[in-house]
């Protein structure tokens, strides 16, 4: 089923006037943003000029998970020289519509693409583009204890229209998800006391999902328990399996690296790798 709507095009940019308080970027990336004055502004020249994004600040933090409201929710936006996009909930008509507001010309014009006409209050949210045309959105919501609803959506026209994929068939809490190409995608489950990785894969653009097989060597049983998002690596795929929130093997500072040569269905242990996320 396709849940899409024609975008609202050519919404004009708004630049902050000189008499407003000086804006300061939250991040140190090439494309900066700020949420000062309860508005979202972006800059492509380190703060010399600012462009107001036509999105209500509260919409950016709507859902079950609202972040700290001082910074955008990780994964909910794209900031590059060629494309900026913001994923948020539009509940103005009481349907809790999920939309993106995006610009391909550094904020000169803005377009709106409807990802889902209706969706439960979001917990996990993520948007990414692999090229100018193909992108994905991963959402979860409607959480009850340790269960929730998870779904992915794809666009093949740069964000104008979106298509809902089939459900993965797993209601555990979503850890992460994404696509490595237009056909191959993954969803990883199990955030609460995981004992083994729970990774699902599609090889047909989300029409069907299968549980990936990740045999854990006995030495690492109940140590490497949570799969991260696989990546392409040469002629194969690689995935890191971390220790989850309670891991203490070698101080919790290592992950298991696994390799797949059949595009994500079967995985074999490769080596331990140092975690760059643990101080």
- Mean pLDDT, each 10-residue run in order, the chain (279 residues): 44 50 88 95 94 95 87 96 95 81 97 95 96 97 91 98 96 97 97 94 98 97 97 97 93 96 98 75
What is the DSSP-derived secondary structure letter of residue 206? T
Residues in the chain: 279
Give the residue among 98, 102, 108, 152 at the shortest CA–CA distance from 132.
Answer: 102
Instruction: Say what the pLDDT of residue 110 is.
Output: 98
Torsion of CA 70, 53, 101, 33, to 10 degrees: -40
Instruction: Say what the pLDDT of residue 2 is.
Output: 43
Secondary structure in 3-state letters for 99-157: EEEEECCCCCEEEEEEEECCCCCEEEEEEEECCCCCEEEEEEEEEECCEEEEEEEEECC
CA distances from 223 to 54, 136, 172, 219 (A): 46, 31, 19, 8
Q: Match 């000062």 to its residue by tokens.
A: 36
Give the residue among 246, 131, 257 at the shortest CA–CA distance from 192.
Answer: 246
Domains of the chain by residue range? 1-164, 169-279
Instruction: Say what the pLDDT of residue 94 is.
Output: 67
Tens digits of residue pLDDT in 38-75: 999 999 999 999 999 999 999 999 888 888 888 999 99
Element (H, E) at 77: strand 77-79
Could you tell me how many helices (H) and strands (E) the chain has, helices first?
1, 22
């Amino acid at each position: 089923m396709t849940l899409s709507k024609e975008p609202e095009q050519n919404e004009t940019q708004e630049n902050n006037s000189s008499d407003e308080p000086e804006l300061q970027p939250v991040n140190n990336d090439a494309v900066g943003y700020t949420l000062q004055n309860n508005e979202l502004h972006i800059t492509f020249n380190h703060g010399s000029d600012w462009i107001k994004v036509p999105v209500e600040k509260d919409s950016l933090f709507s859902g079950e998970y609202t972040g700290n409201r001082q910074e955008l929710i990780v994964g909910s936006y794209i900031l590059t020289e060629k494309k900026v996009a913001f994923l948020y909930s539009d509940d103005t008509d009481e349907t809790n519509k999920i939309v993106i507001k995006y610009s391909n010309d550094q904020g000169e014009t803005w377009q709106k693409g409807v990802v889902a006409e209706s969706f439960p209050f979001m917990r996990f949210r993520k948007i990414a583009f692999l090229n100018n045309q193909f992108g994905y959105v991963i959402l979860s919501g409607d959480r009850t204890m340790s269960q929730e609803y998870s779904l992915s959506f794809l666009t093949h026209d740069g964000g104008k229209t979106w298509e809902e994929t089939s459900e993965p068939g797993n209601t555990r809490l979503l850890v992460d998800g994404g696509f490595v190409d237009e056909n191959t995608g993954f969803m990883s489950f199990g955030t609460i006391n995981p004992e083994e990785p729970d990774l699902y894969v599609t090889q047909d653009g989300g029409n069907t999902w299968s549980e990936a097989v990740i045999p854990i060597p006995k030495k690492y049983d109940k140590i490497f328990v949570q799969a991260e998002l696989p990546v392409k690596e040469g002629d194969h795929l690689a995935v890191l399996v971390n220790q989850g929130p309670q891991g203490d093997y070698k101080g919790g500072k290592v992950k298991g690296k696994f390799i797949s040569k059949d595009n994500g269905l079967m995985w074999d242990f490769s080596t331990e790798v140092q975690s760059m996320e643990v101080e």
